[in-house]
Chain A
Amino acid sequence: MKRVLIVDDAAFMRVSIKNMLSRHNYEIVGEAENGKAAVMKYKELKPDIVTMDITMPDMDGLTSLKEILAIDPSANVIVVSAMGQENMVREAVLLGAKGFVVKPFKEDTILAALKNLD
């Protein structure tokens, strides 16, 4: 069972992703609502996968991604982005995000993305 950390400032998105993943053999080990908390939770929980929102208060997703990769260069971080954020997604990919999904997405989409990490 893969252990997932969900990072998003919107409770709605956290619940959505949690619902989608927990039906399919993923264990949600933690949630963080900003980039700073994500880094701390990453250190503490050492999840297999992180889903990372980009636009968040208190450290955005890109900075958080950078800090997580500094702690663990092999971290599996998937960026959850939205249309209109192309520049930031591009940056995330260059920084070393394992991939990204674009909102709105369906359950199949995010599952397919996570499956790629196996």
Chain B
Amino acid sequence: MANDSLLEVYLVENMQLLDRLESVLLECDKKSSFSSEDIADIFRILHTVKGSSAMMNFDSIAGLSHALEDLFDFLRGHSSRREDHQKIIDLMFTSLDLIKAEISKIQTGGMPDADVSGIIREVRNYLEILTNRKPEPPAEQAVTNVTPEGGQELTGEESAYKAHVVFQPESKMENIRALGIVKSIQPMCAAIVTEPADLFAEHSEDEIVASGFTVYMLSMETQEALTNKIRETFFIQSLTVEELSPEEKARVFGAQTDAQPEQEAVTAAAVASRAAENTSTAAQSYLSVKLSKLDALMDIVGEIVITEATVTKNPQVMALKLESFEKASRQLQKLTEELQDIVMSIRMVPVSATFHKMERIVRDMSNKVGKKARLDIIGEETELDKNVLDKLSDPLMHLIRNAMDHGLETAEERIKLGKDPVGTIRLEARNSGSDVLITVSDDGRGLNKEKLIDKGIALGLIKKPKAEVTDKEAYSLMFAPGFSTKEKVTEFSGRGVGMDVVKRNIESIGGSLSVDSTPGKGMSVIMQIPLTLAIIDGMQVSVGGSPFIVPLLSIRESFKPQKDDCFCDPDGREMIWLRGNCYPIIRLHKEFGIDTPITDLEQGILMTIEAQQQVYCLFVDELVGEQKTVVKPIPPYIQKALGDNKRLAGCTILGDGSISLILDINAFIQ
């Protein structure tokens, strides 16, 4: 249990770190240089990833991040050449992908087991090249001779002791542990000699591991006091302290008369200037919460909203006309609304992280398809429900790939056409009522309408004469399943999953999309995405006694129609004339085959609905009232009964406990 939560912390933290690493790298790639802050930042991230992964025994990740850490450790201390940066960035991206892949293995319950030896070798080799090219002395501090600080004056009265220390296996950095001993006994001794003499010589550490560490002391203190002091050191496996015979004393310390001990190990290491590392990051008081917990919270809030309506609108209680009850229920209603707003706001995240991920795709593809492109991001602070945003990532990726692969021309073509050789892909988000509009556009060659229609006819997707096909119909073909005008399937766009996935994903989150294109100037795909999937403001209407919910924000107005304004067009479709415009009338009772006494337009109500920039009128029996609507998926048994009828966006439970269907207003567009 504890391990599970530890793993969770590991995953969350490391994913965040890797995302940050990626964005720092992209920044560096853009300016094709590393500032000292970048290097310090990258080093710290790699260091943390290495440490945590080693603790979890994820050796592949630990090993690779260790190699990269060493590389950046080197870069911290040395200026590097500009031409190195591209190589380093490439190495980093390759490694980053590997580490991310390993982490996703862990996420799906597997073990990270990739063979990273190749890439580690590549990093190490490269580090070696860098090191050899700049034959500067290693940044090792000079070993300086110091008199024991606070050590005792040599009087000649001291006894000589020898202590032999063996450290526990695997206690690591044994020479520094030995240094710790020297440091701790220093104030008690007049002279100290160690074996090995230089603790930081090349083989000292191995020597200490193999045969232990010996320290000779000249001290006025008792053997016991010295023993106890040494024992304070960590990870000592065995310790023997003995007094030296006069001969041995003479051999080790000679005719030492001054307080200068032979050993040179004790060094007040110069503190390297580490100011560069102190980039200040404002203290953040954030809390990471598991998304599933927020989902559960959202569900419960949804239930509370419904229950609140069930209680306060209970017909029997309403009949009693209780003033205090009404007051209390108004208060309850206010509070549930606040609760709902807060929960919604918790779930809202800015699109910026998802958008910036696309930079990576543009970068990788520019390298591989040989087209230069720039990604302009606009409105990255726009917020969307986390669940909605997660589903947006794939469609965006497809669209960007498509733009890179098919939309943009090569640099040579662009120069010939008098365009900037570097193509531009724009990724834009902005709010529009209860929706967010996300646009992916490029300044490439645009869509070829002719070609689209030909292909559409060939595939049997278009059944009317070519001349009658509108731009919109032609463009929307690109999202049809199995449709690709490109004969050649490249690595990036069109690996079996076509643009139809884009449409399906967008529709699955209740969104819609439209395409615009100007030949020679580029194209844009506009996606209209609902802010949230969970709770909407709805208008409850009734048709033949059955309740339906219409999303409130799509209703322009509701009115009782005049018979004179209504007419039929040559095809027999009912239309209404409204302030100089005419709109089609859709009778809900006909759409769903409901028997209702109200079939005369003047008896019922018309609602003007706006969806995807189109307007139509919906005919219903009556308006019941506004209703907070918790959107729930349609249960399978209802789905079955509905058959192919796709004009529903979901269902909800009303205050009286009955089920009401939520209309998908986009589905009625003709």
Interface residues, chain A, with chain B CB atoms under 8 Å away: 9-13, 15-16, 19, 34, 37, 55-60, 62-63, 81-84, 86-87, 89-91, 93-94, 98-105, 109, 112-113, 116
Contact = CB atoms under 8 A, between A and B. Distances in A.
A9 B277 CA distance: 14
A97 B270 CA distance: 16
B269 A90 contact: yes
A103 B183 contact: no
A84 B70 contact: yes
Given A55-B43, A104-B62, 5 more contacts: A82-B47, A84-B73, A93-B179, A94-B269, A116-B232
Nearest to B12: A11
B577 interface: no
Contact of B278 (A11, A59, A105): A59
A15 B14 CA distance: 14
Contacts, number: 122
B13 A10 contact: yes
> Which of B9, B13, B52, B234 has the most chain A CB atoms inside 10 A of its CB?
B234
A83 B54 CA distance: 10
Nearest to A14: B9
28 contacts: A12-B55, A13-B48, A13-B52, A13-B55, A15-B6, A19-B2, A55-B44, A55-B48, A57-B44, A57-B279, A58-B279, A60-B277, A60-B278, A62-B271, A63-B274, A81-B173, A82-B47, A83-B66, A83-B172, A84-B66, A86-B176, A87-B141, A89-B176, A90-B179, A91-B271, A98-B232, A99-B177, A103-B55
B605 to A, nearest CB: 57
B13 A116 contact: no
A6 to B, nearest CB: 13
Contact of A58 (B177, B266, B271, B278): B278
Contact of B57 (A57, A87, A99, A104): A104
Given A84-B66, A94-B269, A102-B173, A116 B44 contact: no
B670 interface: no
Nearest to A35: B278
Contact of B13 (A11, A56, A104): A11
Interface pairs A-B: 6 shortest CB-CB? A99-B234, A104-B54, A102-B172, A12-B52, A10-B48, A93-B180
Given A91-B269, A94-B267, A103 B51 contact: yes
B172 A9 contact: no
B578 interface: no
Contact of A100 (B43, B176, B268): B176
Interface string B224-248: 0000000011110000000000000
A57 B17 CA distance: 14
A37 B355 CA distance: 34
A15 B280 CA distance: 24
> Which of B5, B50, B66, B172 has the most chain A CB atoms inside 10 A of its CB?
B172
A105 B57 CA distance: 10
Contact of A57 (B51, B70, B281): B281
Contact of A94 (B2, B12, B52, B268): B268
B283 interface: yes
Contact of A86 (B173, B234, B235): B173
Contacts of A100: 173, 176-177, 234
Contacts of A94: 179, 183, 266-269
B284 to A, nearest CB: 9
A97 to B, nearest CB: 8
